[in-house]
Amino acid sequence: MGDSPDLPPLSAALYQAGCRSYAGFHTPGHGRGHAIYPPLRAWWGEGVFRADLPELPGLDNLLAPAGRIAEAQAQAAQVFGADQTWFLVNGATAGLLAAVLAVCRPGDRLLLPRNVHQAVLHALILADVWPVFLAPCRAAGLWGGPDPTAVTDHLAADPTIRAVLLVSPTYEGVCAEVDTLAAIAHAAGRPVIVDEAHGAHLGFHPALPLPALSQGADLVVQASHKTLPALTQAAMLHCRGVRIDPQRVSQALRLIQTSSPSYLLLASLETATAQMATAGRHLLEQTLAAAAWVRAQVEKLPGLSVVQPPCGRPGFAAQDPTRLTVRVADLGLTGFAADEILHGELGVTAELPGYEDLTFLLSVGHTTADVAQLVAALQTLSRRHWGAVPLPVAPLWPGLSERVCSPRQAFFAPCESIPLAAAAGRVSAATVCPYPPGIPLLIPGERISPEALTYLESSVRAGGAVVGLSVQDPPEVRVLYG
């Protein structure tokens, strides 16, 4: 594996273990790469297999860390401003499941916005928690956080609400008023969990919105792999203050994380932390400059515009400038159609297509050539399509559905598949989520309204995808019997 590189402690121990000459009678079965499919070894290189090791002496144990992993997690806690940090090898999903399991008891209620990731809905099923949904604020074509007044009212009215969960930033980089919401929740004696999957980079540059931990959040889940130089699936869970029992968090993580974590993922978390601590500000300076340049160029292009949240209004505290949502509807294109052209013909791939727009993620991993290619592709799109008839307005989200039973009751209840068109009035056994906007329309235990069906039909007609329906034509949906 070459000369000894300059690595932080856990990664250095892994490197040493990978270099050691010994006969290893342990997992994984590829035997440090000897038995791996040769073309794969030729492609990935030998080093990756030599570092793909189990919990050997000196490499610590993720589920009961006391050595190098404990050290790396403590270092991450310091860098991210937490009292305690846990490394996750199953994405932010693992952090969300563990956070809800650690904070709530069966039968509790959790106050949360509807635009939560499906992992949170799965956590409700696992922990037997009832959701109390808040409709997120919507303005300028973007979803924001919940209205603080609604949070205050719910907490005052319902003593069975155990905690508040927030999503900030959203996919489009819209940040909720985490400081205000945390103050409201704490005054009412409830802890706050923040799904900051899209915001692991926020603490590393003063021009970015403040990270949730520094705004009073108690438990924060970050998908490090989304915006930091870490491998896919690598994520972190951070805890701060006295409202969360860290032992419950560790216990919950033992329940849902693998006992064979990939050291490649753990090393990438450790090195991303070290990199951001030493060079994060400088790297983000370049990302921010690139994002500002792209914004300025887009504003010059006929038919294209950057979608800006109305910061300062309830639900809209700030915008992460490294997310760029570009409206394409005035070119007569849906975000899906524009995505196909950009990806298929113009060599640019976006993070998320919407009905009227496309969201691009800029990170410390982008080069000057990447951003130049993005602007050139958008120029071509504008030139080719300017003058087309603008799109009709997007279908209107019909709002929250009536809850009949808990997500867990619905998950375990006998159910059947029926044609979607015949489902009005029945209780959904499935999470049905149209993209866009990626906000679940139905989750297990909710009654299917005629308005919800109309919305699903118009979403599909507009070119969106619906997750949670069967693929056959006409589509079917899982509902409870009777």
The residues binding ligand PLP (CB under 6 A) are 91-93, 117, 119, 167, 171, 195, 197-198, 223, 235
> Is residue 327 within a helix (H) or strand (E), and if so which, with residue range?
strand 323-327
User: Tokens standing for 401?
Assistant: 């559905």
Helix H segments across 56-108? Answer: 68-80, 91-103
As measured in angstroms, the least distance from the Cβ of 1 to ligand PLP is 29
Choice between 253 and 377, CB closer to ligand PLP: 253
Choice between 152 and 363, CB closer to ligand PLP: 363
As measured in angstroms, the least distance from the Cβ of 322 to ligand PLP is 15
Choice between 72 and 223, CB closer to ligand PLP: 223
User: Tokens standing for 311?
Assistant: 């910061």
Residue 47 burial by CB count (10 A; 0-12/13-18/19+): exposed, middle or buried?
middle
Parallel, antiparallel or unpaired: strands 192-195 and 161-167: parallel
As measured in angstroms, the least distance from the Cβ of 482 to ligand PLP is 34
What is the CA 291 to chain-centroid distance, rounded? 21
As measured in angstroms, the least distance from the Cβ of 84 to ligand PLP is 20
Scanning the structure block, which residue is given the tokens 């989750």?
A: 443
Choice between 168 and 271, CB closer to ligand PLP: 168
> Is residue 342 within a helix (H) or strand (E), and if so which, with residue range?
helix 335-345
As measured in angstroms, the least distance from the Cβ of 30 to ligand PLP is 26
User: Tokens standing for 159?
Assistant: 């003593």
As measured in angstroms, the least distance from the Cβ of 212 to ligand PLP is 12
Choice between 171 and 455, CB closer to ligand PLP: 171
As measured in angstroms, the least distance from the Cβ of 374 to ligand PLP is 21
Choice between 193 and 197, CB closer to ligand PLP: 197
Choice between 227 and 297, CB closer to ligand PLP: 227
The number of helices, as runs of H, and strands, as runs of E, in the chain is 15, 19
As measured in angstroms, the least distance from the Cβ of 317 to ligand PLP is 16
> How many Å apart are CA 455 and CA 128, to the nearest integer?
29
Peptide bond into 437 cis (omega under 30): yes
Choice between 15 and 397, CB closer to ligand PLP: 397
472: CB partners within 8 A, 6+ apart: none
Q: What is the residue-wise DSSP string for 416-470?
A: EEEEGGG-TTSBB-S-BEEETTT--SB-TTBB--HHHHHHHHHHHHTT-EEETB-
- Percent helix / strand / coil, the chain, rounded to 5: 40, 15, 45
As measured in angstroms, the least distance from the Cβ of 24 to ligand PLP is 31
Q: Please report, for residues 2, 240, 248, 348, 383, the alpha-carbon distance to residue 71 in angstroms, rounded to integers and kept in the order given.
A: 25, 18, 20, 40, 54
Parallel, antiparallel or unpaired: strands 357-361 and 352-353: antiparallel
> How many Å apart are CA 88 and CA 136, to the nearest integer?
28
As measured in angstroms, the least distance from the Cβ of 316 to ligand PLP is 17
Q: Within 10 A of 268 (CB to CB), how many other CB atoms are there?
A: 22
Choice between 93 and 359, CB closer to ligand PLP: 93
Which phi and psi angles does 147 have, rounded to 5°? -75, 125
Choice between 273 and 297, CB closer to ligand PLP: 273
